[in-house]
Amino acid sequence: MIEKVLVANRGEIALRVIRTCKTLGIKTVSVYSDEDYNSLHVKQATEAYHIGEAAPAKSYLNQEKILEAVLSSGADSVHPGYGFLSENDDFATLCEKNKITFIGPTAKSMNLCGDKMKCKEAMLAANVPTVPGSPGLVKDADDAKKIANEIGYPVMLKSVYGGGGRGIRIVTSDAELESGYESVTGESIAAVGKSAILVEKFLEKTRHIEYQFARDTHGNTVHIFERECSIQRRNQKLIEQTPSPIVDAKTRQRVGELVRNAAVAVGYTNLGTAEFLRADNGEFYFIEINARLQVEHPITEFVSGLDLVKLQIDIANGEPIPFKQSDLKMNGYAIECRINAEDTFLDFAPSTGPVPDVSIPAGPGVRCDTYLYPGCTVSPFYDSLMAKLVTWGQTFEESRTRMLCALDDFYIQGVETSIPLYKTILNSAEYKNGDLSTDFIKRYGIIDRLTEDLKREKEEKSLAAVAAAVIHSEYFKSRVQDKTNSKWSHRLE
Partner 1 sequence: MNYKIQDTTKSFVAQMADNLGDGRYVISIDEHRHELEIIAMDSRGIEFVMDKKYHKVRYIGQSTNEMSMIVDNTSITLCLNSHLDDIVYKNSGGGSTGDAQLALKSQIPGKVVSVSAVPGDTVKKGDVICTLESMKMQVSVKSHKDGTIKTIKITESGTVAKGDVIAEIE
Q: Using CB under 8 A as the criterion, what x/- string covers residues 373-412 for binding its own copies?
A: xx-------------------x---x--xx-xx--x----
Interface with its own copies, residue 215, by CB under 8 A? no
Q: Using the rule CB under 8 A, is 51 a contact of partner 1? A: no
* Site size toward partner 1, by CB under 8 A: 50
Q: Quick check: 1 binds its own copies (CB under 8 A)?
A: no
- Residue 363 has phi, psi (to 5 degrees) of 125, 175
CB of 252 to partner 1, least distance (A): 37
CB burial of residue 68 (10 Å; 0-12, 13-18, 19+) = middle
Considering 233, 260, 292, 402, which one is annotated as catalytic?
Answer: 292
Residue with Cβ nearer partner 1 (66 or 113):
66
**Stretch binding its own copies (CB under 8 A), from 201-209, 239-247, 305-313, 473-481:** 305-313
For residues 365 and 302, give the distance between their C-alpha atoms in angstroms, rounded to a whole number: 9
Q: How far is the CB of 239 from its own copies (least distance, A)?
A: 18
Give the residue with the Cβ less far from its own copies, 253 or 331: 331
Which range of residues in 104-112, 119-127, 211-219, 475-483 is near partner 1 by CB under 8 A? 475-483
CB 209 within 8 A of CB 229: yes
DSSP code per residue over 238-276: EEEEES-TT--HHHHHHHHHHHHHHHHHTT--EEEEEEE
How far apart are the C-alpha atoms of 214 and 196, rounded to whole Å?
36
Of 330, 331, 352, nearest to 340 (Cα)?
A: 352
Contact partner, 461, from partner 1, its own copies, none, Cβ < 5-8 Å per class = partner 1
Which CB sits closer to partner 1, 349 or 465?
Answer: 465
Among 175, 249, 429, 480, binds partner 1 (CB under 8 A): 480
Cα–Cα nearest to 19, from 310, 431, 301: 310
Alpha carbon distance 136, 117 (integer Å)? 8
Question: Buried (b) or exposed (e) across 365-400, using 16+ Cβ within 10 A?
Answer: bbbbbbbbeeebbbbebbbbbbbbbbbbbeebebbb
Per-residue interface string for the shown chain with partner 1, residues 133-172, x marking contact by CB under 8 A: ----------------------------------------
Find the DSSP H helices in 34-173.
40-44, 63-73, 89-97, 107-114, 116-125, 141-151
Pick what 394 binds: its own copies, partner 1, none; C-beta below 5 to 8 Å, kind-dependent: its own copies
For position 427 contacting partner 1 by CB under 8 A, the verdict is no
Nearest residue to 223 via CA among 152, 324, 312? 324
Q: Virtual CA dihedral for 377, 379, 382, 386, nearest 10 degrees?
A: 30
Among 76, 96, 121, 307, binds its own copies (CB under 8 A): 307
Strand pairing partners for 159? 197
Q: Based on the shown chain and the rule CB under 8 A, indicate whether residue 467 belongs to the binding site for partner 1.
A: yes
Distance CA 49, CA 68 (A): 10
CB nearer to its own copies: give 318 or 374. Answer: 374
Binding residues for its own copies, total number by CB under 8 A: 33
Shortest Cβ distance from residue 25 to its own copies (Å)? 8
**Contact characters 324-353, its own copies, x per CB under 8 A:** -------xx---------------------
Is 292 annotated in the active site? yes
Min dist CB 40 to partner 1, Å, is: 10
Report the SS3 class of residue 390.
Answer: strand
What part of residues 354-413 is at the interface with partner 1 (CB under 8 A)?
357, 408, 410-411, 413
Question: Considering the rule CB under 8 A, would residue 166 count as an interface residue with its own copies?
Answer: no
Give the interface segment with its own copies, choosing from 96-104, 123-131, 297-305, 348-356 (CB under 8 A): 297-305
Q: How many residues does the chain have?
A: 493
**Is 23 a residue that touches its own copies (CB under 8 A)?**
yes
Q: Which residues contact 217 (CB under 8 A, 6 or more apart)?
A: 269, 315, 318
50 scored as a contact of its own copies (CB under 8 A): no
| Least distance to its own copies, CB of residue 355, Å | 14
Taking the CA atoms of residue 24, residue 26, residue 31 and residue 35 in that order, the dihedral angle to the nearest 10 degrees is: 40
The catalytic residues are 292
